[in-house]
Amino acid sequence: MTSTEYVAGLFDLTGHVGIITGGSRGLGFGQVKVLTDAGATVYNLDLIPHSDEQMIREGHLIDIRCDVTDYDAVEKVVKEIVEKERQLDFLINNAGITFKCRAEEFPLDRLDKIIQINLKTPYMLARICYPYLKQSEYIGRVITISSMAAYMGFTGVLPYDMTKSGVLGLTRGLAEEWKNDNILVNSVAPGWFITKLNEEMFEKNPDRKAAALAKPMLPHFGDPVEIGYMMLFLLSGASTYLTGQDFPVDGGAIPHGF
The answer to the question of residue 134 being in a domain is: yes
Residue 71 lies in a domain: yes
Establish if 118 belongs to a structural domain: yes
Q: What pLDDT does residue 202 have?
A: 79
Answer whether residue 215 is part of any domain.
no
Q: Which residues contact 227 (CB under 8 A, 6 or more apart)?
A: 27, 30, 31, 188, 190, 193, 249
The tens digit of pLDDT for each residue in 124-141 reads 999 999 999 999 999 999
What percentage of the chain reaches a pLDDT higher than 70?
A: 95
Region 3-23 average pLDDT: 96
Torsion of CA 51, 55, 57, 62, to 10 degrees: -80
Q: What pLDDT, in 10s, does the model give residues 26-52?
A: 999 999 999 999 999 999 999 987 655
* Statement: residue 258 has pLDDT above 60: no
183-223 pLDDT tens trace = 999 999 999 898 876 777 778 778 878 877 777 788 889 99
Q: Is residue 203 part of a domain?
A: no
Question: Which CATH number characterizes residue 184's domain?
Answer: 3.40.50.720
pLDDT digits (tens, 9 = 90+) for 165-185: 999 999 999 999 999 999 999
Residue 240's pLDDT band, with cuts at 50, 70 and 90, is very high
Q: Is it the case that residue 99 has pLDDT exceeding 80?
A: yes
What value does the mean pLDDT take over residues 99-123?
A: 97
The Cβ of residue 139 has, within 10 Å, a number of other Cβ atoms equal to: 17
Q: How many other C-beta atoms are found inside a 10 Å radius of the C-beta of residue 149?
A: 19
Q: Which residue intervals of the chain are DSSP H helices?
A: 3-10, 26-37, 53-57, 71-85, 108-115, 121-133, 149-152, 158-177, 196-204, 206-213, 224-235, 253-256
Let me know if residue 207 belongs to a domain. Answer: no
Please indicate, yes or no, if residue 214 is contained in any of the structural domains. no
Q: How many domains does the chain have?
A: 1
Rounded CA separation 161/30 (Å): 23
State the pTM of this model: 0.94
